[in-house]
Every structure is written in structure tokens, then in C-alpha cells.
């Protein structure tokens, strides 16, 4: 029995490894492992123009974290702290629209959630510290804010709206890690269903009219709580006509 094939959007950028310094198509292994851990098979989708044809070959798709989206997409001026990735913007907004159009199961993580909102006609806050007077949504790189004994920086609760898809999946409250300085302002065609209770920053968006389209502002792939990935892979398996047995891992 084969596993459902899950596309994951990848970075295309300069990286250093093992004495090399070069442009690479890449994605942290945490994303790949999250999909494999819940019974999917990951393939990485590099930024590409003009193509969305790859959507036809996938059973589900994850829009990954990364840099900021160009605010020109929602008609705003660029904030000095906004660092865009134009190549991924172009490619991922096209891919997102095609995936939603095809009702392909979609999970957006961090930047991926923001791509969802923008693709749906929404807008973002470009720099949360300006709005909140604090940078507590941005944990230090390389840290695990959920580790026992970690400082509260980069860790907060999320409250989930009763009756939503997210509520059915995650319950009414959970604690998450947090590594972002932008956030969804207007979710556009999506519905906001989860918030940080401290400051009302939107943490979850979804489209209940679609099979599975959910975006989360945190990084579940860096935790043991992979429920949003599990549900994605279940929806992908169902779409591909695969039975429950395919997901026995």
C-alpha cells in the first residue's frame, strides 16, 4: 500500500554546509520528518514560474515557513523590518490558489499561513513589535520554547473557537512555540479560528468549505504535536483513494 504524496514548498536560497556556500533548493528536515512520521511521503516543491502543474501529482500540500511576503500584494508600503522572498511569493501564491481551487488538502505553517491569507485577499501586520510593543512572538533561533525549563519567550497559549475545524482537531486550548514577527491582520476569504489570548494575534485560519485547508502561525513540525500534519495526511489519503491501512506507521 503506497503512502499519500505530500508536496512541501521549499526555499531556494544561499546556504552554507560542509565547506560549501551555494544556492540550494532546501527545507529543514523537521518538516520532512513530520510528514513521514504521520504516514505521508514528502516531496519538495522548489519555487517555480509559471508552473502549478505539479499540483495534479500531489495528494496534499504543505506551505512551509520562511521569509516575509511582499506587502505590495495587499497594497501596503514595505516596513523596514520586512524581508521579502519574491521568488517564493510569486510561486507560492500561484500554487496556493491552484491548490485551493483543486480542493487539495492544504496546511500552511507560519509564512505558509500568511500565504494562505494573502492568496485569499487578506492582509498582514508587517511587524508585531510595532503593534504590541513586544517581540514575544519571536523566539530566539535555535531554541525550543516548549522545552522544560525554557523561558516563556517564544511560547504562548492559543485559544480555539468552539465549533471550528481547528477545535475539533486541537481542542479549545493549546500551548505553542512562536518564531514570527508578522501576523495575519485580515484573513480574507479564510476564517480566523484561533488566537493568542494575551494579545489577540491570529494563530489559526481555516476554510470550512474545503476538505482541509488550515493555517497555523506556530511551528508544529518542531514539536511532538503533529495533529495538523496527521489530519492533512488523512485527508490526502482519502483523496487518493487509499485506506486507513496506508497510514499504519
Residue 241 in the binding site for other proteins (CB under 8 A): no
- Give the shortest CB-93-to-other proteins separation in angstroms: 18
Residue 77 in the binding site for other proteins (CB under 8 A): no
H or E segment at 86? helix 86-101
Residue 224 in the binding site for other proteins (CB under 8 A): no
Residue 13 in the binding site for other proteins (CB under 8 A): yes
Q: How far is CA 83 from the centre of its chain?
A: 18
CA-nearest of 103, 89, 118 to 61 is 103
Output the CA–CA distances (angstroms, integers) from residue 169 to 127, 160, 161, 222, in the order listed: 29, 10, 11, 18
**In degrees rounded to 5, what are phi and psi of residue 138?**
-115, 90
The cell numbers describing 49, all together, are 514560474
H or E segment at 185? strand 183-186
- Give the shortest CB-53-to-other proteins separation in angstroms: 5
The CB-side HSE value for 199 (13 A sphere, CA atoms) comes to 17
- Give the shortest CB-142-to-other proteins separation in angstroms: 6
Residue from 34, 38, 43, 82 binding other proteins (CB under 8 A): 43
Residue 151 in the binding site for other proteins (CB under 8 A): no
CA-nearest of 111, 82, 81, 85 to 13 is 85
As annotated, the active-site residues are 110, 219, 221
- Residue (14 or 224) nearer to other proteins, CB: 14
Residue 32 in the binding site for other proteins (CB under 8 A): yes
Stretch that binds other proteins, among 9-17, 148-156, 181-189, 197-205 (CB under 8 A): 9-17
Per DSSP, the three-state class of 68 is strand
Residue from 23, 152, 245, 248 binding other proteins (CB under 8 A): 23
Footprint of other proteins (CB under 8 A): 2-3, 5, 7, 10-19, 22-30, 32, 36, 41-46, 48, 51, 53-54, 56-58, 141-142
Amino acid at each position: 500500500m503506497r503512502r499519500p504524496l505530500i508536496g512541501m514548498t521549499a526555499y531556494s536560497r544561499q546556504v552554507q554546509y560542509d565547506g560549501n556556500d551555494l544556492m540550494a533548493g532546501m527545507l529543514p528536515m523537521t518538516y520532512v520528518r513530520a510528514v513521514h512520521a504521520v504516514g505521508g511521503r514528502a516531496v519538495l516543491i522548489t519555487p517555480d514560474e509559471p508552473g502549478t502543474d505539479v499540483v495534479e501529482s500531489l495528494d496534499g500540500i504543505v506551505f512551509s515557513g520562511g521569509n516575509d511576503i511582499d506587502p505590495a500584494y495587499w497594497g501596503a508600503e514595505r516596513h523596514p523590518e520586512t524581508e521579502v522572498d519574491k521568488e517564493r511569493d510569486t510561486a507560492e501564491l500561484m500554487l496556493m490558489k491552484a491548490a485551493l481551487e483543486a480542493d487539495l488538502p492544504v496546511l500552511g505553517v507560519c509564512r505558509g499561513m500568511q500565504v494562505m491569507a494573502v492568496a485569499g485577499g487578506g492582509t498582514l501586520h508587517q511587524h508585531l513589535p510595532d503593534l504590541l510593543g513586544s517581540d514575544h512572538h519571536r523566539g530566539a533561533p535555535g531554541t525550543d520554547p516548549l522545552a522544560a525549563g525554557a523561558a516563556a519567550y517564544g511560547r504562548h497559549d492559543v485559544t480555539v473557537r468552539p465549533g471550528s475545524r481547528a477545535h475539533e482537531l486541537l481542542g479549545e486550548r493549546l500551548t505553542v512555540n512562536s518564531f514570527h514577527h508578522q501576523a495575519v491582520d485580515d484573513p480574507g476569504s479564510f476564517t480566523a479560528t484561533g488566537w493568542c489570548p494575551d494579545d489577540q494575534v491570529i494563530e489559526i485560519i481555516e476554510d470550512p468549505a474545503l476538505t482541509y485547508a488550515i493555517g497555523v502561525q506556530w511551528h508544529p513540525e518542531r514539536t511532538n504535536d503533529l495533529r495538523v500534519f496527521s489530519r492533512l495526511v488523512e485527508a490526502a489519503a482519502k483523496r487518493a483513494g487509499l485506506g486507513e491501512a496506508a497510514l499504519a506507521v
